[in-house]
Structure 1
Amino acid sequence: MLRITTLIENSPGEHHGLKSEHGISFFIEKDGHKILFDSGQSGAFLSNAAKMNIDLSDLEHVVLSHGHYDHSGGFRSLCGIARDFTLWTGEGFFTPKYAFRNGAYDYLGNDFDESFLSGERISHSTLSVPLREILPGVFLLTNFPRIHPEEKINPRFFLLRDGEFVQDSFDDEVLLAVETGEGLAVLLGCSHPGMRTMLDAVRERLRRPVFAVLGGSHLVEVRGSGLEKSFEYLQNSDIHFVGVSHCTGNDAMERLSLSCPNFFRNVTGSSLFFGQPSAQSGAAGPGK
């Protein structure tokens, strides 16, 4: 059986004892294997996991989608309870990230570096190929060709490289895709390279349909034809579970709830279960 649980997200769910924050973290359990995708902005996801009876001490893999604080900020706290895992990041993950705002640069990057990993004896692998299977039926993808010209990265994002600020093209962005039996469940961090670009890469490289998509779509910053094409993409696709949230933005999620029949509000504490014998569709839907 496959279970995907949202350990933390911007919005609270029905379990009022769980903490929410601007960030995202998913726990994936597949056939006895345990994976963490992103760690929120703080260690709050750890207490949420404990309250949901989820043991993170024996994780096998940790994947950080990109080097922004709201996806990697809880990693230091995680290392206090687990360390016998492999950390996966994209190329350039540790290059300091900033946002330009009102004439100043705001730091948005990680609170740890490679020396921290060495000191904590954390196994670290950089995803340097477009596709890698890290466990049976569990895939990491990066290096997304920009095939949709409307999907533009906000120019406010910068890297500090060799003492100079340069535009961030988010070459470090990584997604996770896991086989459900009826297609792939795709986990997105923020989709800075473009949500459609990333999902099309999954279909092309794995030759499998996308059955579910969860995570950030960054539609909160998209306007005009790009936004309309993204709505059309989700509304007319064969994706059975559309749970984009986090940086999707409240306005976009409200519109999706009205126009996309397969959309559900993925919140802190939500779970999807796949492969249950009693589930006619192969997934039990968002459960708590």
Structure 2
Amino acid sequence: MELQITTLIENNPSDDGQLLFEHGLSLYIEADEKKILFDTGQSGDFIKNAKALNKNINDLDFCFISHGHYDHSGGFEKLVSEAGKLPTLIAGEEFFKPKYKMADTHGYKFNGNSFDEEFILKNQISLRKVKEEMVYLTEHIMVFHHFMKHTDYEKRNNRFFIKENTKYIPDDFEDEISLGIVTERGLVVIVGCSHVGIVNILKTISENVDIPIYAVIGGTHLIEADEARVQKTVDAFKEMKIQLIAVSHCTGEEGIRLIRQELKEKFLYNNTGRVIQI
């Protein structure tokens, strides 16, 4: 089975400088005779890039949103307004809990989804809330949810909260989901931000499926990590014998530098417009 992943939008510009870019992530995935939109960036500009890259948003089977932050779900309403055929939305069951971030001087700032379940119902969008730890979408495509804590060095940002009634509660990112695609070379894992820790995600997946992880593609949220954490993360990649680390979005310049330095030809910066074929 062939797998093709096209990065529609990401923090950094395309190599030719012709595509739009923004803080966010959106990938167009073609696998197992399915077309999947993985995250929607923050503005909906991924749609313009999709047209430039000859990727048809009307052919989508699924729209997969990794977690409820604006830079991953913000373009969904534009997709709904512009697509003639709406894909099934797949998200964690906790996806619609309102998310906030503690601002330095202005208290709590909303940074969650711009739409709610009423919007989904109004537009007659098929919604699949993932409750299980693992769900098969097809024979070769699966969704992972509820990641266990395996490391003591992957700390979650204590400025992120969810709001329940009138209370702000630390966000443990229970809504976060990742995508797994089985290829001849092994399992390809696609992640949005990895707020729960990229190593926690990969080790949990390894416990659930007896397939070697060949590649990791997406955001690793090492932007706030110190050198010691990045080094332990790289050591975990080596221990799991992962052959391709294609990072995007929230990895951070220092994380990119260290991963590139350590993994050499196994490293790829997955910037806007990049196409990966496996």
Q: TM-score range by the shorter chain?
A: over 0.9
The match for 1:188 is 191
The match for 1:19 is 20
Please say if residues 26 and 41 of structure 2, whose CA atoms lie closer than 8 Å, have aligned partners that are also in contact.
yes
The match for 1:205 is 208
Using the size of structure 1 for normalisation, the TM-score is 0.92
Distance 1:256 1:236 in 2: 14
2:103 is aligned with 1:92 = no
The match for 1:267 is 271
The match for 1:114 is 117
The match for 1:230 is 233
Q: Please state how far the C-alpha of 1:223 moved relative to its aligned partner.
A: 2.4
Q: Please state how far the C-alpha of 1:251 moved relative to its aligned partner.
A: 1.4
Q: Please state how far the C-alpha of 1:225 moved relative to its aligned partner.
A: 3.8
Please say if residues 179 and 185 of structure 1, whose CA atoms lie closer than 8 Å, have aligned partners that are also in contact.
yes
Q: Please state how far the C-alpha of 1:39 moved relative to its aligned partner.
A: 0.5
Following superposition of structure 1 onto structure 2, how do residues 41-56 of structure 1 map, counting pairs within 5 Å? 41-56=42-57
Q: 5+ unaligned residues in a row in structure 2: which ranges?
A: none
Distance 1:33 1:245 in 2: 23
The match for 2:129 is 126
Distance 2:93 2:225 in 1: 25
Secondary structure of the residue aligned to 1:70 is helix
Q: Once structures 1 and 2 are overlaid, which stretch shifts more, 254-263 or 187-196?
A: 254-263
Q: Please state how far the C-alpha of 1:69 moved relative to its aligned partner.
A: 0.3
Following superposition of structure 1 onto structure 2, how do residues 118-157 of structure 1 map, counting pairs within 5 Å? 118-157=121-160
Please say if residues 83 and 121 of structure 1, whose CA atoms lie closer than 8 Å, have aligned partners that are also in contact.
no
Distance 1:236 1:266 in 2: 22
Distance 1:167 1:264 in 2: 33
Distance 2:251 2:84 in 1: 31
Q: Please state how far the C-alpha of 1:82 moved relative to its aligned partner.
A: 4.3
Compared with structure 1, are the counterparts of its residues 205 and 82 closer, same or farther at alpha carbon in structure 2 (3 Å cutoff)? farther
Following superposition of structure 1 onto structure 2, how do residues 62-81 of structure 1 map, counting pairs within 5 Å? 62-80=63-81, 81=83
Identity among equivalent positions (%) equals 38
Secondary structure of the residue aligned to 2:168 is strand
Please say if residues 32 and 141 of structure 2, whose CA atoms lie closer than 8 Å, have aligned partners that are also in contact.
no
Distance 1:154 1:29 in 2: 33
Q: Deviations over 1:95-122 (max 9, x none)?
A: 1111112241111101000000111110
Paired AA for residue 268 in structure 1? T
Please say if residues 230 and 258 of structure 2, whose CA atoms lie closer than 8 Å, have aligned partners that are also in contact.
no
RMSD: 1.3
Paired AA for residue 98 in structure 1? Y
The match for 1:278 is none
Compared with structure 1, are the counterparts of its residues 107 and 235 closer, same or farther at alpha carbon in structure 2 (3 Å cutoff)? same
Q: Deviations over 1:179-231 (max 9, x none)?
A: 12110111111101110010111222111111111111111112264332112
Distance 2:16 2:187 in 1: 28
Paired AA for residue 190 in structure 1? C
The match for 1:167 is 170
